[in-house]
Each structure stands twice: as C-alpha cells, then as structure tokens.
Structure 1
Amino acid sequence: MSIQIPRGTQDILPGEVEKWQYVEEVAKTLCYNYQYKEIRTPIFEASELFTRGVGDTTDIVQKEMYMFEDRGGRSLALRPEGTASVVRSFVGNKMFGHPNQPTKLFYSGPMFRYERPQAGRYRQFVQFGVEALGSEDPAIDAEVISLAMGIYKKLGLTQLKLVINSLGDAGSRNAHREALINHFKPRIDEFCGDCQNRLEKNPLRILDCKKDRDHELMSTAPSILDYLNDESKQYFEKVQKHLSGMDVEFTVDPTLVRGLDYYNHTAFEIMSDAEGFGAITTLCGGGRYNGLVEMIGGPETPGIGFAFSIERLLSALEAEGVELPIEQGVECFIVSLGDDAKDYAVKLLHNLRAAGISSEKDYLDRKVKGQFKAADRYEAKYVAVIGDNELQENKINLKDMATGEQEEVSLDQLVDNVKSKLGK
C-alpha cells in the first residue's frame, strides 16, 4: 500500500525549489537593505499565544488551527501565522531593551491552517513576513508598505494594486463598533452563524465574512473613515503623504478590514490584477497592531508588519509570465575512461568543488557517449575528458559545450583554467 501525501500539502521538487530559493533571497536582500534582521521562531507554540494574540473570534482560531496536547498535557498549536510568534519572542527576549529601536525583523517559514485547499492555498504554506516594533511614526508605516511593494516589483510583477485603510485608534474603533452593531442587529438573523456570534464580540469581522459578502447590509455598513477622530485622521493622512512622496501608488478602500483582531490604524493589502490569477486576488496583507505586545505580556509597544505566501507570489509570477533568472546547470562535468582515470576523477571532482565550481561526474559506469549525454542533461557549461593515457601524461581535454571548442590543458591547471573561464 502506497502512502499518500497529506491533503493540502505539496512536495517542492528539484527544478521548482530553485524558484523558491530565488524569490526568498530577493526578499531577504531587500529586507537587509531596509535594516530588517532575520528571526526564526518555533513551528509550534502554546495555543494561548494565538487565541490571545490572533483573537478567539477569528476563523484562524475557531476553525483552522492545528491544536494538540503534548505528553505533559500542555495545549500546543502549529503556528497559523508569524506575527504572534515574533512578538512573543520580542517580549520573552526583552528586545524592547535594545538600544537600536525600532526593532525591525523578518521571518520566513511554514505555517499551518486547516482550511479547504484550493489554487494557491495549502494547509501547510510558506509565509514571509516583516515586523517593525517600537515606533508610532507614520513614516514606519509607509516604509513597511513600500518594502512589501518593493519585493513584488523587484521580482518583476507589474499588475499590482495597493489598497489602504485606517481602522483608527481605540476610541475611533469603539465608536465604529457601536455603529456596526446598530446597523446589523435588526437583521442579524439573516446572516450566518459566525456573523451572529461576532455581532457583540467583534462586529468588524462581519465585514470580512465570505459567506454574506453579497448581503445588502454589507454595502451600506458604516465606514470606519466616518468615525476616525482628529488624531487618527491626521495619522492616516501622514501615511498617505509619505507613500505619495515615495511614488507608491495606492487606493483608499474604506471597506478593507484585516482578518486578525490585533490591527488598528493603518491596514493594507496588495492584490494582483493579472489576468487568470484567480478569484482570490490578495497577495499580501498587513497593518498596525499597537496593542499586541501588551496583550502578550510585554510593555506598551507599537508595531506594524505584513506577511505574504510564497505560493501566492509564485502563482502571480506565473500569471504574469515572469521568467526568473535561475541557472540550474553544472559548471563542469567530468567524463572519464579507464579504471585509473575513473579513480582520479573522484579527487579531481573534489578539487573543483572545493574551488567553488559546481561540478559532477558519472557514477553509473556509463560509456563515454552515455557520459556526454549525462553532461547534456546536467546542462554542463564545460566537460573535462580524461582517460588513462591523459592521466599518465598529466593532461586533460576541456570542451566548451556552448561553442564546441576543445583545448588540452595541464591537469594541474584545470581548476584555475575553469575558474578563469567562469570569471571566478
């Protein structure tokens, strides 16, 4: 009986994994340019971290978390998102005490959500995220947004749409909350059970409901922008001013809400307008979360961040027909003939690799013709051919596979010769 891969997961095979490595490296390099440093957190955490930090009214906590008890009876969860874990580490390691503030971090790794698998969405997915903790300056909001847009543009995406909104401070949100309750309450029985449960706990989440998004009350719901106090309005205007100064194009969408409870003030999403990308167009989401650190047991510390799925990013690149500049071939392939030459090829291969040259040889005792075919399959740039006679004469034939040109070089000079041709 064969064992099947779990539903909602995928194997990323050679030939495809190089794309992942490339986009992750581009994102990391840009983060370093912005002075964000990498952080790595555990794949599982105490369940309470997410029920408290993400919010017990969210779909993630109510329906999608993978939870289990360990042998000590502790309730643990596979992380469904990265922000709560980063904030937990920020608090636990007292990073708020470091002299350089704000604390600017990025992460990349697998997340887990038990949801219906569909195109570009998996139960195990890889999320790349950024968090900036310790500043209430609207400029850091604009920086985080521009960084997210910069990653997509650096990779060649052009069909992008950035939408932003403000959820306001606590006072603005409370006023909006009451207005939403009054708006939905008379007809809440027409909504799904989830929305009915959210009415009193977190009515903002009703606006994010996928089942009832076409209900007429959704389009007439009170806008958060009408309930922003002067301070929140000024903050949002400053964020917009900074984005305009950076030439980052955006659209203000008063219906935009984020699916997690910890957001306030700035919220944003980046979407793909590429034809054929699919019904779900969101690539990246983020926003400000000024109360999350205190919620997890730390001192009062503002924060803002974003996260995106690598799977969704790769789907967007495919939809726009973006070819990533990935080289998969080896730089030098050794073809050997004769027992002594085959034995020497092992040492020669090691020397090439030690010099930083991507190299390979035949391990299946193929004939010379078969070895050359293997070199073609490896897309080798150069093929070094050695036989027992060449070994005795301390020489080797080097063939440029692109031009077909061959030259005879000293065995002692092969490594330096290949390095020179490769410009290393």
Structure 2
Amino acid sequence: MEFKAIRGVEDIIPPESEKFERVVDTFKEIVKLSGFKEVILPIFEEAKLFTRSVGETTDIVQKEMYVFQDKGGRTIALRPEGTASAVRAYVENGIYAREPFTKWFYVGPMFRFERPQAGRKRQFFQAGCEVFGIKEPGADAELIKVASDILKKLGIDAELQINSIGCKKCRPEYRRALISFLRERVNELCPTCRERLERNPLRVLDCKEESCQEVVSRAPKITDFLCQECKEHYERVKEYLKLLSVPFVENPLLVRGLDYYTKTVFEFKSSKLGAQSTVLAGGRYDDLIEEIGGPRTPALGFAMGIDRAILLLPESKERREGVFVVTRGEEAYRRGLKVVSFLREKGVKSEIDHRRGSFKAQMKAADRNRARYALIIGEEEVENDFFSLRDLETGKQERVEGLEELLGRL
C-alpha cells in the first residue's frame, strides 16, 4: 500500500527545512530584541472562538475552516490563524490583571481548506506577534518597524502598504455609503462579490477580479469617513513611520480579510509572489478582547507567512561548516569516535562515516555534507599520534597535535 501526504499538506525536508529554520530563527532574534516573549498555543480550539473573532461572514469561517466533532460532542476547529488563540489565552489566564501591557510571539502551523498553490497550502506556517494593552499610535509604528526589520534581515524586498479602516463609530457610515455605491454597479461585480455585497461589503475592496477592481477604484474611500479620533491616530502612525525611516504607500482599498480589525491595517507585499503577494500583514484590533469575554483592552499584531517568506529568500551559496572525520582502520575509527564526541561537547558540529568506505568515498561524503574541514585519521596519524586537518574550501592540509590544538585551529 502506497501512502502519500494529503493534498495541500507538504513535508518540509532539507534543504527547505534549513530555510524554514533560518526564517524562524531570524524572526525570533528580531522580536526578542523588542521585548516579545513566546507563547505556545493549542493547534485546535472550540470552533466558536474563530466564528466569534474572525467573523461569521468571512471566507475563512464560511468556506475554509477545518471543523469536526470530537468524542465529547464538541465542535472543534483546527486554528486558521493565531490571533484568536492568543487573545483567548490572554483572557483565560487573566494576564490583563497583572501586566499593564503584554508582548507575545508565536510560531506554528495553521489550517485552511483552500485551493493549494504556491504560497498557499492547507497546512501552512505563521510566525506572529501580538501586543496587548497599548492604544497609542507609537505602538503601531514600532510593530510595523519590527516587521520591516525581520524582512530586511532576511533579505526580502517587499512594499509596505497601510490604511485605516476606522472604528465602530465611523465605519458604519462608510459601510452604508459603500453598499449604496456597489448596489448601483452590482452587475459589474463577480458572483462572489455579489454575495458579499450585503453581508461583508468591505471584502469587495480586496477582490482580485479585474472587473471588481475597476469598480472599487471609483468607490468611496474609507479614509474620507474616519472620525476625528481615527483620523488623528492614522496621521500619528504615518508621522512615526517617517520618523523611524520606514517607507510606506497608502492604500485606501486595503481592508484585510478578518472582521476584528480596527484603525491601522498594513501589508508587506511582493510582486514575486503573484496573486498571493502578501508575505506579512496585520493591524490593530481594539474590540476583540472585549468581544470574547475580557475587559476592554487595545491590541494589535501581525503574522508572517513562513512558507511565503521561504519563497522570497534570496539565493545564497550554502555555507560550509563543521568537521567530517575520515578514518582508515579500526583503531583510527575508534579514535575518530572519541574526537567527534569531544568536538560536539565543545559545540563544534561534527560527523563521522560509520560505514568506513574508501578514503575517496569518505571525502565525497564530507563534501556532500558541506563540511568545512575533513579531519583525517589514518595509520600514520594513529602511529604518530596526530591529526591531518584539510580545509575543504582552500584544499590546504596541516598537521595538528592533540585535541586542544585541534579545537584552537577550528
């Protein structure tokens, strides 16, 4: 019987797994410098958590969530995104009662039933940050700067687009104006957007269909409907981004696909990703914590698609590192085992070929493993108690006396 991975779910094997590790390590390095601490969240939750937070009328809830009944009769969903789980953990554990503000990050798999394509799988990975308890616009700018620094450190070139989608006070008026505008042009919209028109009209602004894009290019702009508070917040965010030297483009059609967003929204987009152009995105969600049972608490965050970031990593020559021990004969092999153990204890990556093939075969194995050095132990080395250390980048070979000298040379 032949088993294969389920469609839309892929193995991440070397060298792709090394790229995955590079993205995650870089993300963690940058966010920890800004005071974020890791939270480890469940992969599945009660489905109503996502229905309540993400929004009943969103594509994620209506079409894409993996939902099932567990043996206890509860309706469970594999998490389609990380923010709802982080907010649930923040409320359930009463973090708001003991911390004036909280900065968390998470890394892990998410699940959505979508048509698999490059940069969009049914199991995909995200690295995200959440900030709870800060309403000031400086926090928005700082978070966007952190996101920008991550992409810059990875060598990923992406354009930052920003917008404000207002709040509960000013968005209803814009929603009415948008519905009125779209109703007059309903025949020009795609079938999906005709369905969205009444239940979730802001999603029409984000449609990728050419006919819909032409219609919304003439639609009212949400920034023209902002209340004074939202307008001032947005202006300050832009001011601080300029202060932090973070270039951006204002996109009045940017709305994001989740219902919980308020005020600031942003996306980092790359033309190299085609239709799935967004590599990192987020925004403010000041109402969500209260909506799922906590006290009124301002909050904001972002998530980066690790799979998409990997697609955008610049090509780089694989770096050689560590030592590959090459041996001839039983006594040399025994000595090699001890050397490998010693080097690993000292933090030096090292390997040995237990198959003990020919010298040529072992040297090929060292090259295949991208080792920087081959440590050769043959009959002469055993008899005279030394090692031959060959630099596989330069080809230079030298005699090394003892383990401490070897460690010093490495």
Aligned to 1:173: 171
Partner in structure 2 of residue 148 of structure 1: 147
Distance in 1, matches of 2:312 and 2:12, equals 17
The aligned counterpart of 2:369 is 378
CA distance in 1: counterparts of 2:185 and 2:395, whole angstroms: 77
Checking the alignment, whether the CA contact within 8 Å between 1:207 and 1:213 is kept in structure 2 is no
Aligned with 2:295 (options 285, 295, 299): 299
User: Of 256, 259, 262, which residue of structure 1 is paired with 2:257?
Assistant: 259
- In 2, Cα distance between the equivalents of 1:404 and 1:153? 35
1:19-55 Cα distance to aligned partner (Å, 9 max, x none) = 1111211111110111111111011111111111100
How far off its partner does 1:150 sit? 1.4
Is 1:323 aligned to residue 315 of structure 2? yes
Matched, 1:402 2:393: yes
**Displacement, 1:384?**
2.2
Q: Secondary structure at the match of 1:171?
A: coil
Unaligned runs of 5+ residues in structure 2 are none
Q: Secondary structure at the match of 2:52?
A: helix
Deviation, structure 1 residue 188:
4.1
**Cα distance in 2, alignment partners of residues 325 and 138 from structure 1:** 41
Conserved? CA contact 1:192–1:212, under 8 Å: no
Identical columns (%): 47
Are 2:297 and 1:308 equivalent residues in the alignment?
A: no
* Aligned partner (choices 321, 337, 354) of residue 345 of structure 2: 354
Q: How does 1:86-101 map to 2 (within 5 A)?
A: 86-99=86-99, 101=100
Change (3 A) 1:408 1:285: closer
Query: Which residue matches 2:131?
Result: 132
Q: Distance in 1 between matches of 2:318 and 2:368?
A: 16
C-alpha contact 2:190 2:212 (8 A) present in aligned 1: no
Q: 1:181, CA displacement in angstroms?
A: 2.5
Contact 2:268 2:280 in 1 (8 A): yes
RMSD over aligned Cα, in angstroms?
A: 2.1
Partner of residue 71, structure 2: 71
Q: Give the distance between the partners of 2:81 and 2:345, measured in 1 at CA.
A: 40
Deviation at 1:192, TM superposition (A): 5.2
Indicate the larger mover: 44-53 or 219-228.
219-228
2-structure distance, mates of 1:305, 1:213? 32
Distance in 1 between residues matched to 2:199 and 2:241, nearest whole Å: 34
Distance 2:287 2:304 in 1: 22
Query: How far is 1:325 from its partner?
Result: 7.0
Q: Which residue is equivalent to 2:409?
A: 421
Distance 1:365 1:214, change over 3 A: same
Query: 1:342 aligned to 309, 321, 333, which one?
Result: 333
Shift of the alpha carbon at 1:382?
A: 2.2
In the alignment, the residues of structure 2 paired with residue 79 and residue 41 of structure 1 have an alpha-carbon distance, to the nearest angstrom, of: 10
d(CA) in 1 for partners of 2:195 and 2:260?
A: 18
The alignment partner of 2:80 has SS state of coil
**8 A contact 1:19–1:324 mirrored in 2:** no
* Equivalent-residue separation in structure 1 for 2:339 and 2:233 (angstroms): 64
Q: Structure 1: where are the runs of 5+ without partners?
A: none
Measure how far apart 1:189 and its partner are. 6.4
Deviation at 1:198, TM superposition (A): 3.6
Helix, strand or coil: the match of 2:212? Answer: coil
C-alpha spacing 1:218/1:316, structure 2 compared with 1 (3 Å) = same
Task: Tell me the TM-score normalized by structure 2.
Answer: 0.93
**Which residue does the alignment assign to 2:230?**
232
| Match runs of 1:11-160 below 5 Å | 11-99=11-99, 101-158=100-157, 160=158
Give the whole-Å Cα distance in 2 for the aligned partners of 1:233 and 1:202.
23
> What amino acid sits opposite 1:377 in the alignment?
R
The alpha-carbon deviation at position 399 of structure 1 amounts to 2.7
Give the deviation of 1:207 after TM superposition. Answer: 2.2
Q: For residues 267-319 of structure 1, what are the alpha-carbon distances to aligned partners after superposition, in whole Å with 9 as ceiling and x for unaligned?
A: 1111114xx542332222211111110111111111111112112112223xx
Aligned residue among 253, 266, 269 for 1:268: 266
TM-score when normalising by structure 1: 0.90
Instruction: Give the counterpart of 1:164 among 139, 162, 165.
Output: 162
Distance (Å, rounded) in 1 between the aligned partners of 2:351 and 2:23 = 26
Is the contact made by 1:129 and 1:306 (CA closer than 8 Å) also made in structure 2? yes
**Distance in 1 of aligned mates of 2:86 and 2:233:** 25
| CA distance, structure 2, for counterparts of residue 215 and residue 366 of structure 1 | 64
Any conservation in 1 of the 2:190–2:209 contact (CA below 8 Å)? yes
Amino acid at match of 1:93: N
Structure 1 SS opposite 2:162: strand
Q: What's the offset of the Cα at 1:211? A: 4.8
Match of 2:278 in 1: 282
The one-letter amino acid of 1:351's match is F
Q: Aligned partners of 1:271, 1:409: CA distance in 2, in Å?
A: 52
